[in-house]
Each structure stands twice: as structure tokens, then as C-alpha cells.
């Protein structure tokens, strides 16, 4: 067994360490899971492996990864693995908030085509332009986003779940929908693994 240190970094952000990334190490065909763990505050995960070729799959909400490979060959190994934080840009229009959410499956993979319905409860024209309702789908990274006028009273529905909440859009340029839906006084809470 050789000591292996895997360091997961945010490549577009000067290789800043990525914390709390779920790292899964498979044998080289990607069928058999060998070991897994979560990166620490330095973006590192220390493991021990026998000599051989390995495939790594990583998961973290709001970060994209591709499968990466490495080889252990008779000596300790320090391997850098790359990810890229997904940036949610604010809308260009003043007084508008971009609501966003990252959806993942139970295994941590991005959930594409998760439908979110946002309905304006008051004042025609407050949601976007003249829409009373917007439906958005999450993209390949699991990101769903919609622009809404700050201060609007809206109803958010996560389709195929029982999650439906009414809220007032915050006076911010961007806001995480799941955080808004999981306010402290609400029984729904966002849990990160």
C-alpha cells in the first residue's frame, strides 16, 4: 500500500483548494469502488492504495468535475485533481434578483432537467417582463436560475416534489433558492453532505 494525497483545486480560481468535495476512487474501468472520502480544509484527502491505475469521480454542489485518472507505482503519490466552481452572474437590470439552485441526485451527480416553477402572486409584470409564471429546467451542471424583481411575492414549486413555498424576493442581485426555501422557521432544511 502506498500513501496517496489527492488535492482538489478550483482551476479557474488560481487553484484554490476545494473543501468538502466527495471523492470516489474506482479501479481504472470505473466499475468497482475502491475507497472514498471528503476533502479537508486544504482540499486534501489522504488514502492508501496498492500499485495500479485508478479513476476518480468527484461531487460538490456548485462545482463541475470531469472524471480523472492517476497511477500509483511503487512510491508515495501527490495528485492534483481539478474542478471549476460555477459562477452565478447577477442580472444586468437594476432591481432584479437572479434566483438559482443547484440540484443533485442522491449520489452527488448533477441533476439535469429538474423543473422549477416560479409564479408571481401579485402585480402583473413583476416576474421578468410580463410573465405571471416562469418554468425553468436545470442544466447539465444541475443549475436552474430565473430572474425576478426584488420585493415581489412569489410561489416557488420544485416539480415532482412536495416542496412549494411562498416568499418575498430579497433585495439582492443573486440568491440561492434552496436557502430561501429552507428558512430557519421552516421545517424544510438544506443539508449538505
Q: Which range of residues forms the domain containing residue 166?
A: 96-181
Q: 32 and 51: one domain?
A: yes
Can you give the pLDDT at residue 154? 92
Q: 127 and 65: one domain?
A: no
Residue 130 lies in a domain: yes
- Final residue of a structural domain among 85, 117, 140: 85
Residue 91 lies in a domain: no
Residue 189 lies in a domain: no
Can you give the pLDDT at residue 36? 96
Can you give the pLDDT at residue 161? 87
CATH number at residue 69: 2.60.40.10
Q: 122 and 60: one domain?
A: no
Number of domains in the chain: 2
Can you give the pLDDT at residue 183? 55
Q: 102 and 131: one domain?
A: yes
Residue 102 lies in a domain: yes
Q: 127 and 164: one domain?
A: yes
Residue 124 lies in a domain: yes
Residue 176 lies in a domain: yes
- Final residue of a structural domain among 42, 62, 85: 85
Q: 162 and 116: one domain?
A: yes
Series of mean pLDDT values for 10-residue runs along the chain (193 residues): 97 96 95 97 97 95 91 95 94 93 84 94 56 87 93 92 90 93 56 45
Three-state SS for the chain is CEEEEEEEEEHHHCCEECCCCEEEEEECCCCCEEEEEECCCCCEEEEEECCEEEEEEEECCCEEECCEEEEECCCCEEEEEEEEECCCCCCCCCCEEEEEEECECCCCCECCCCEEEEEECCCCCCECCCECEEEEECCCCCEEEEEEECCCEEEEEECCCCCEEEEECCCCCEEEHHHHHCCCCCCCCCCCC
Amino acid at each position: 500500500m502506498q500513501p496517496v494525497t489527492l488535492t482538489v483545486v478550483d482551476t479557474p480560481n488560481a487553484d484554490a483548494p476545494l473543501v468538502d468535495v466527495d471523492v470516489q476512487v474506482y479501479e481504472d474501468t470505473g466499475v468497482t469502488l475502491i475507497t472514498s472520502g471528503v476533502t479537508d480544509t486544504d482540499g486534501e484527502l489522504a488514502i492508501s492504495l496498492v500499485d495500479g491505475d485508478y479513476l476518480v469521480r468527484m461531487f460538490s454542489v456548485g462545482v463541475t468535475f470531469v472524471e480523472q485518472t492517476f497511477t500509483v507505482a511503487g512510491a508515495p503519490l501527490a495528485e492534483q485533481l481539478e474542478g471549476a466552481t460555477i459562477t452565478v452572474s447577477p442580472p444586468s437590470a437594476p432591481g432584479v434578483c437572479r434566483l438559482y439552485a443547484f440540484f443533485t441526485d442522491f449520489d452527488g451527480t448533477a441533476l439535469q432537467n429538474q423543473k422549477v416553477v416560479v409564479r408571481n402572486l401579485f402585480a402583473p409584470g413583476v416576474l421578468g417582463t410580463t410573465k405571471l409564471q416562469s418554468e425553468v429546467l436545470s442544466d447539465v451542471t444541475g443549475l436552474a436560475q430565473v430572474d425576478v424583481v426584488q420585493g415581489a411575492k412569489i410561489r416557488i414549486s420544485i416539480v415532482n416534489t412536495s416542496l412549494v413555498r411562498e416568499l418575498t424576493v430579497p433585495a439582492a442581485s443573486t440568491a440561492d433558492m434552496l436557502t430561501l426555501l429552507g428558512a430557519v422557521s421552516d421545517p424544510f432544511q438544506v443539508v449538505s453532505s
